[in-house]
Amino acid sequence: MAIQEQRLIFKHIDEPGYTNDIDCYIKHGGYEQLKKAVTMKPEDICAEVLESGVRGRGGAGFPAGMKWKFLDRKSGKPIYLVCNCDESEPGTFKDREIVHQDPHQLIEGMMCSAFAIQAKLAFIYIRGEFFQGYKILERAIEEAREKNLLGDNILGSGYSCDIIVHRGAGAYICGEETGLIESIEGNRANPRIKPPYFPAALGLYQCPTIVNNVETLCDVKHIIELGGKGFAQIGTPGNTGTRIWCVSGHVEKPGYYEFPCSAVTLGQLIYDVCGGLKPGRKLKAVIPGGSSAKILRADERFTGKLKDGTEFDWGIEDIPMDFDSLMAVGSMSGSGGVIVMDDSTDMVEALANINYFYAHESCGQCTPCREGVPWMRKVTQRMVDGEAREEDADLLKNIADQIAGRTICAFGEAASWPVQSFIAKFKDEFVQKAREQAARRKEGKAAATKTTLI
Amino acid sequence: MEIKNIVENITINIDGQDVDVPKGTNIIEAVKMVGKGKEVPHYCYHPKLSIAGNCRMCMVEMGMPMRDRATGEAILDDDGTQKIGWMPKPTIGCATNAAPGMHIRTNSEMVKESRNGVTEFLLINHPLDCPICDQAGECRLQEFSAEHGRGYSRFTEEKNVKPKRTKLGPRVTLDDERCILCSRCVRFSKEIANDDVLGFVDRGTYSTLTCYPGKELEHNYSLNTVDICPVGALTSTDFRFKMRVWFLKRTHSICTESSVGANTEIWSREGKIYRVTPRRNDAVNDTWMTDSGRGLFKSIDADDRLTHYTIDGVHKTPTQAAVAAAELLKAGDAALIGSAHSSVEEQFYYKAIADRSSAKVALVSHYDSADGILQSEDRTPNLRGALVTGLIDSLPEAELSAIAREINSGAVKTLFVVNEDVTKLGIPADALSQVKVIYVGTHANETSQGAAVVLPSLSVFEKDGTFINQSFRLQRFKAAVPGPSGVTSDFSVLEQVAASLNDEKPAAITIDVAWEYIAKSISQFEDSLRWRGIPDEGLALDAKAFLDIPFVETKNLKFDPVAFKEAHATPAGA
Ligand SMILES: Cc1cc2nc3c(=O)[nH]c(=O)nc-3n(C[C@H](O)[C@H](O)[C@H](O)COP(=O)(O)O)c2cc1C
Ligand code: SF4
Ligand code: SF4
Ligand code: FES
């Protein structure tokens, strides 16, 4: 029996008859929260957001209210709000739906947030490939401006703020917040060093800046509606609100599904919500939070202690889908991209595919990532091309170890974690690959088998 | 008189040793202060450029004294010392500023392993062509690879292919395969040369250094990018393949291009100069110099170089020529056209010669537009020297038509000319033919051609001496190569002229003997000051006596005339 979704952010996504124009949005109660917000004290909204415990939906899961608190308000410089709509993490497809089907929810969330932090100007940095989304947002902003929901003296409150939609430069690294800021400034999206360039102090144009994910900013609208406390009641302590899980891979019904945090386990998500695996297939592994999250092996036992001290002993299907549980099992909920792999998956090929992506996307600024990630790609490519060596597994792990934690931005980790975890959990397959190829070569056959790689 | 900012000193601990450093010093500089050659290896960091933090070579371990979050009280170790909370990951030294109590490890396992990793990564796509690379011998990658590399390669894949031998501009050649993408050259062009022509195209491992489309790296500071490039990616088109650097002798010198007086190093072998590079002086030129200044040495081998002492065109000994010059001066009615290209020592002698022969003295100005960086309006190195030695007491005129009039009126019958071609400066050839000319200079010109006496002179590369720059800093230069054979040092010939004027026997002169006289007679110098005792970084002189002179220099890299005047007008110690 399928578990019922509980949609908050995706409430109207795919709802028959629901359109993305402002009239439809207002008919469904839209912009009431903005009307409420502008009558509140900005600092009170910030307090509500802090109390809600809402954590960032862009990848790192950092509490949004805390991030807002770090804003340097003493500098006297204007404050900027930036919505990160670069959605490029492989396996993630939620922000695009919000923009396409419910853009006003994002705009309302953004204007509430902008008012709360007293931003002078807000930006939506939208992935370059989302041209349709860009046009939808431009139109929606125009509609909202006509109704005085953004622009000068919003709803007579005396507060003015506009939204500028900035199309992305067509690279994954543009989603990293400081790279994104560089990109808005018109430069290559080279991430900045932190310290000193923490966006909350020295962000866009060297002014204090808040960067939040599309979903996070939508959450703010609901925090105004429910109050911080009310929002915090969704999910569990420390894992509040809902999450949109973007399930892809070898399941019968891939797609996006929204649940309160912890409301489903990974097993329920795969088997009940997504209709299970293809007939006759067995679960092999899951990457739970976008391709950079560490992979989980289906036959692993996960034991340890949660943050609050409770002990756990889980099989992969028992893992509750929330921030802390996925962290506790050594991975992360990341951007919510759940990639399911059944027993037809060749792990070397899967990793080669991931490595290809990261090697292609490194900005190239810092040595370990620029040189190390393409090296890993070359190794895995060679392995699938028929020249695998038994020692490649150790080499790959060693290269990844030389990258993670030594780079300018978290891309270094994003690119190393897959390698580290694939080798940690599937080393036997990497070694086996070399042995099989050697055997085939001995028999006079081509060492490489046909691959499904791009 | 130096203006010192009061900077707070703090104590940090580096590898177990407490070190006092100015607050805010980054860890690379702080570790240098430990001394004993201790260094954090680095590529992209440069003390005079913004921090990029991209090479990741300078990683260190960093820890801070631990405090209880709630009470703020220090958390103590078993032995009663404050516990250090070490960061789990290494951090880059270049972007980490010293804070009170900070602990740094520069050689822990984690640090070594990160460095070795970076070294390995930098080498996998590197062409490893050191045997044919000009940078060999002064290549940071080569040095650090020897120290931190594994000695063999685990990389069996194909290396990247990138453009070779790209002409970035008239003077700089780029090998992209050697480039480690440290962005020093990019930052230099943007931040110092104010010409943002360099940048990277393409992404990731394909990132490639190039010029902005349709532009060239042609600014007058382009060769500094060659100096700061830590590898052999940027090379000087002129110096390429000429000489291995370890064969070259290095001599400290001063650039004569303008009154900035950039500190330089002359690289020579067996009497031949191969290149000139800047020498760091934070009060004068930081670590930079102009391209044009680097090329000046080429004139020493010019065909029109003066190599013989002559009287009426006939070769003579230096002494004969000096005596002949003195005889002409003794006849009276002489004028001396001095030069702000002469050294302080020479100007001291010209002053003596002018005094003893009652010659009137004139100098000609050589002004041109300034670039606001290291090329000032005054294109001579030693105008301040002419003032300090008393050779002149006001700024020079633009030309010499006043002297020309005196020649025409018969008031001037002998003209002692130093370095200038007066025919281009308002004394036409027919006027010049009415006087006896004594010419001192390095190169022939129309003035020297008709001269009664010619005293060939040594260039700055061939002699010892001093200049005083725009900020009244006395700076020393040393002979790097010998001059043309038979040409002796200017001041010893001038000593002979001066002695003959007084009918004395000339003294055997070395530069420090000359300085005994100079120091005694010029109030700006301590009596005990000798040439040898002038520090490498120069000596700031008391400029109070000259503050009312309307010098032409405007603000440039290290000199602000307004601030200079203010600082020197207030009495020392105030
Ligand atoms: C390589 C890299 C790519 C990223 N891409 C995205 C992205 O596409 N969208 C996004 O919202 N956050 C992305 N992030 C995370 C952002 O840097 C930032 O943490 C996030 O936008 C903050 O918003 P949040 O706190 O609301 O999650 C990326 C991070 C890294 C390191
Ligand atoms: S880690 Fe990679 S993506 Fe991030 S700054 Fe360094 S090279 Fe660029
Ligand atoms: S050319 Fe040299 S200075 Fe410029 S980025 Fe490359 S390695 Fe650095
Ligand atoms: S010197 Fe610090 S990262 Fe390059």
Counting Cβ atoms within 10 Å, is residue B381 exposed (0-12), middle (13-18) or buried (19+)? buried
Q: Which residue of A has its CA nearest to B115?
A: A402
For the Cβ of A173 lying below 6 angstroms from any atom of ligand 2, the answer is yes
> Mutate which of A371, A383, A401 to disrupt the B interface (most B C-beta within 10 Å)?
A371
Structure tokens at B455: 């005293």
Buried b / exposed e over B114-124, threshold 16 CB at 10 Å, is bbbbbbbbbbb
Structure tokens at A393: 């597994």
pLDDT at B507 exceeding the cut of 90: no
pLDDT at B234 exceeding the cut of 50: yes
Which residues make Cβ contacts (< 8 Å) with residue A414, sequence separation at least 6?
A292, A358
Among A195, A170, A186, smallest CA distance to A123 is for A186
Rounded to whole angstroms, the Cα distance separating B104 from B540 reads 37
Residue B477 contacts residue B253 (beta carbons within 8 Å): yes
Which DSSP letter does residue A273 get? Answer: I
Q: Give the closest-approach CA distance of B118 to chain A in angstroms.
A: 6
Residues B324-349: tens digit of each pLDDT = 999 999 998 999 999 999 999 999 99
pLDDT, residue A2, reads: 67
Please tell us whether the domain made up of A241-280+303-340 is placed in CATH 1.10.10.10.
no
Rounded to whole angstroms, the Cα distance separating B241 from B133 reads 8
Contacts with A371 from chain B: Cβ below 8 Å:
121-122, 124-125, 205
> What are the residues facing B18 on neighbouring strands?
B13
Q: Which residue has the tokens 């899967």?
A: A350
pLDDT, residue A450, reads: 73
Question: How does residue B574 score in pLDDT terms, banded at 50, 70 and 90?
Answer: very low
Rounded to whole angstroms, the Cα distance separating A230 from A220 reads 12
Atom of ligand 2 nearest to the CA of A173: 3
Structure tokens at B269: 């072998």
Contacts with B190 from chain A: Cβ below 8 Å:
none
Domains and CATH numbers, chain B: 9-107 (3.10.20.740), 130-300 (3.30.70.20), 310-569 (3.40.50.740)
Atom of ligand 1 nearest to the CA of A177: 17
Rounded to whole angstroms, the Cα distance separating A315 from A266 reads 10
Q: Which ligand gives the minimal distance to the CA of B26?
A: 4
pLDDT, residue A347, reads: 97
The fold of the A347-442 domain, in CATH, is: de novo design (two linked rop proteins) (1.20.1440)
> Mutate which of B51, B109, B118, B121 to disrupt the A interface (most A C-beta within 10 Å)?
B121
Query: Per the CATH hierarchy, to which homologous superfamily does domain A22-233 belong?
Result: NADH-ubiquinone oxidoreductase 51kDa subunit (3.40.50.11540)
Which DSSP letter does residue A383 get? Answer: I
Contact A405 B90 (CB under 8 A): yes
pLDDT, residue A250, reads: 97
- Domain edges within chain A: 22-233, 241-280+303-340, 347-442
Q: Which of A333-342, B76-85, B86-95, B273-282 has the weakest average pLDDT? A: B76-85
DSSP B275-307: EEEE--BTTTTBT---HHHHTGGGGGG-TTB--
Q: Give the closest-approach CA distance of A57 to chain B in angstroms.
A: 25
Q: Give the closest-approach CA distance of A407 to chain B in angstroms.
A: 7
What is the CA(A258)–ligand 1 centre distance, in A? Answer: 20
Do domains A22-233 and A347-442 share one topology? The answer is: no
Q: Can you say whether the dihedral through the CA atoms of A144, A146, A148, A151 is positive or negative? A: positive
pLDDT, residue A453, reads: 58
pLDDT, residue A279, reads: 95
Buried b / exposed e over B343-360, threshold 16 CB at 10 Å, is bbbbbbbbbbbbebbebe
For A:176-215, CB contacts with B below 8 A are: 188, 193, 195-196
Per-residue model confidence as pLDDT tens for chain A (454 residues): 568 999 999 999 999 999 999 999 999 999 999 999 999 999 999 999 999 999 999 999 999 999 999 999 999 999 999 999 999 999 999 999 999 999 999 999 999 999 999 999 999 999 999 999 999 999 999 999 999 999 999 999 999 999 999 999 899 999 999 999 999 999 999 999 999 999 999 999 999 999 999 999 999 999 999 999 999 999 999 999 999 999 999 999 999 999 999 999 999 999 999 999 999 999 999 999 999 999 999 999 999 999 888 999 999 999 999 999 999 999 999 999 999 999 999 999 999 999 999 999 999 999 999 999 999 999 999 999 999 999 999 999 999 999 999 999 999 999 999 999 999 999 999 999 999 999 999 999 888 887 665 4
Q: Is A379 touching B (CB cutoff 8 A)?
A: yes
Structure tokens at B400: 């010499």
Among B454, B98, B461, B93, smallest CA distance to B301 is for B461
Query: What percent of the residues of chain B are helix, what percent strand, and what percent coil, each to the nearest 5?
Result: 30, 20, 50
The ipTM, to two decimals, is 0.95
Q: Which residue of A has its CA nearest to B60?
A: A406
Structure tokens at B341: 């290209």
pLDDT at B2 exceeding the cut of 50: no
Q: Provide the number of CB pairs (under 8 Å) joining chain A to chain B.
A: 95
Q: Are strands B103-105 and B59-65 parallel, antiparallel or unpaired?
A: antiparallel
Residue B212 contacts residue B186 (beta carbons within 8 Å): no
pLDDT, residue B4, reads: 53
DSSP B304-373: TB---EEETTEEE-HHHHHHHHHHHHHTS-EEEE--TTS-HHHHHHHHHHHHHTT-EEE-B--B----SS
